[in-house]
Amino acid sequence: MIHRFFSFMLPVLTVSFGLSSCSTQDSNKDKTEDAKLKESRRYDLSLRDRLEFFGKLPSVAESKENPITAEKVMLGYTLYYDNRLSANNTISCNSCHNLAKFGVDGLQFSPGDAGKLGGRNSPTVLNAAFHATQFWDGRAKDVEEQAGMPVLNSVEMAIPNEKFLIDRLSKIELYKMLFAEAFPGEPNPINYVNLRKAIAAFERQLISPSRLDKYLGGDSLALSVQEKKGMMSFALVGCTSCHNGALLGGNSFQKFGVYQNYWEETQSAKHDEGRFEHTHNEADKYFFKTPSLRNVAETAPYFHDGSVKDLTRAVEIMAKVQLKYTLNENEKANIVAFLKSLSGDIPENFKKSPVGL
């Protein structure tokens, strides 16, 4: 009898203990999650007065001078991927600004049509339409002007002159159709101005919102506690003095090496004089356009000369030479975590060559 009683009770007791254990685990998990939520909200409150340094990425990059149309974007999309925009049909815009790789090629310097390397790192084309100027030295005012310059650059795409390219494109049936559709009513729509406008219209579609935008839009859980810590450090250390606004950069020129020569830390072989090489103004020596930090975790190597491959090292160098501040290991880890929250993507269809090219 006793034996049978215990035989009957043991499964019951086992189930009871099991339920008790699960209940305890669930309770502990709830407490942990609650603690995390409280910590996250605490950082939300701390960041409240710092959010003025940041901005939500706009959803549209319109231009009054170059209104965007679907036909213009389609033409620009096709031109962007076409190797025939280079002298020997070897490279396209996408070769150096690969849209499947966040708008870069991952190289220190990009090879041109004849294989010769450029002198500065190719920046990402994503969100470039929002920049105040284009190129590291700001020599182009917008993406419309920028779009035509690499094509005619002897080191890059090496087309000898505008007429050479327009004559080439005018013989291609696809472009006869696409230019006519993009610029209806024009007697000679295949021209260099329209080529620049079309490529720029396409580039104005390359906008990559990230989790930061969700956070700035009111979603407190879009960023982790560590990312919020990094955002706080980013502001307190002084990074926002140059990297601010919706792009976290792209809107000013700053001297690279405020407190010491940048090459002492980067070990750069060439001491690039930056904007001075374009303006020949002594005051512009070693000044470069402050790059946007959007997608920075995906676009190594870093700086105008691609001299640093590691993001943590790049952050460390910037704090040291720009702010005269030595970051501790926690600050570096947290800032890098925050920078990773800036990674966003573009429509999948733009990451591959258009059908029919």
More confident residue, 268 or 46: 268
- Only one residue has tokens 């049936």, namely 173
Rounded average pLDDT over 234-254: 98
The residues facing 210 across adjacent strands are 344
Residue 162's pLDDT is what? 98
More confident residue, 45 or 265: 265
Question: Among residues 317, 329, 334, which one has the least CA distance to residue 235?
Answer: 334
State the DSSP code for 89.
S
Q: What are phi and psi of 340, to 5 degrees?
A: -70, -25
What's the token pair of residue 100? 């499947």
At 37, the pLDDT band (50, 70, 90 cuts) reads: confident
128-146 residue pLDDT tens: 999 999 999 999 999 999 9
Residue 350's pLDDT is what? 97
At 34, the pLDDT band (50, 70, 90 cuts) reads: confident
What's the token pair of residue 348? 């999948």
Domain with CATH 1.10.760.10 in the chain: 51-58+209-340, 70-206
Residue 58's pLDDT is what? 96
Residue 357's pLDDT is what? 83
Select 51-58+209-340's CATH number: 1.10.580.10, 1.10.760.10, 1.10.287.1770, 3.40.640.10. Answer: 1.10.760.10
What's the token pair of residue 133? 């100027």
Residue 24's pLDDT is what? 62
Q: What is the length of the chain?
A: 357
Rounded average pLDDT over 231-251: 98
What's the token pair of residue 14? 């086992």
Q: d(Cα 117, Cα 204) in Å, to the nearest integer? A: 27
CA–centroid distance for 87 within its chain: 29
In the chain, DSSP assigns E strands to 253-255, 287-289
Question: Among residues 159, 160, 318, which one has the least CA distance to residue 233?
Answer: 318
Q: d(Cα 318, Cα 322) in Å, to the nearest integer? A: 5
Q: Render 155-204 in DSSP notation, one character per residue.
A: TTT----HHHHHHHHHT-HHHHHHHHHHSTT-SS--SHHHHHHHHHHHHT
Whether the predicted pLDDT of 14 surpasses 50: no
Whether the predicted pLDDT of 201 surpasses 60: yes
Rounded average pLDDT over 216-230: 97
Question: Among residues 95, 89, 141, which one has the least CA distance to residue 122?
Answer: 95
At 9, the pLDDT band (50, 70, 90 cuts) reads: very low
251-267 residue pLDDT tens: 999 999 999 999 999 99
Residues 6+ apart with CB under 8 A from 164: none
Whether the predicted pLDDT of 116 surpasses 70: yes
Q: What radius of gyration, in Å, describes the C-alpha atoms of the chain? A: 26
Residue 144's pLDDT is what? 98
At 62, the pLDDT band (50, 70, 90 cuts) reads: very high
More confident residue, 92 or 355: 92
At 12, the pLDDT band (50, 70, 90 cuts) reads: very low
279-317 residue pLDDT tens: 999 999 999 999 999 999 999 999 999 999 999 999 999
Question: What's the predicted TM-score (pTM) here?
Answer: 0.90
Residues 6+ apart with CB under 8 A from 165: 85, 151, 159, 192, 195
* Residue 310, number of CB atoms within 10 A of its CB: 13
64-102 residue pLDDT tens: 999 999 999 999 999 999 999 999 999 999 999 999 999
Whether the predicted pLDDT of 45 surpasses 50: yes
Contact call for residues 288 and 274 (beta carbons, < 8 A)? yes
Q: d(Cα 289, Cα 255) in Å, to the nearest integer? A: 9
**Taking phi first (over 0 means left), then psi (-120 to 50 degrees means alpha), and beta for anything else, what does residue 116 get?**
beta
What dotted CATH number matches 70-206? 1.10.760.10
At 36, the pLDDT band (50, 70, 90 cuts) reads: confident
Residue 26's pLDDT is what? 63
Rounded average pLDDT over 166-180: 98
Contact call for residues 40 and 225 (beta carbons, < 8 A)? yes
Whether the predicted pLDDT of 115 surpasses 90: yes
Q: Indicate which residues carry an active-site annotation.
A: 156
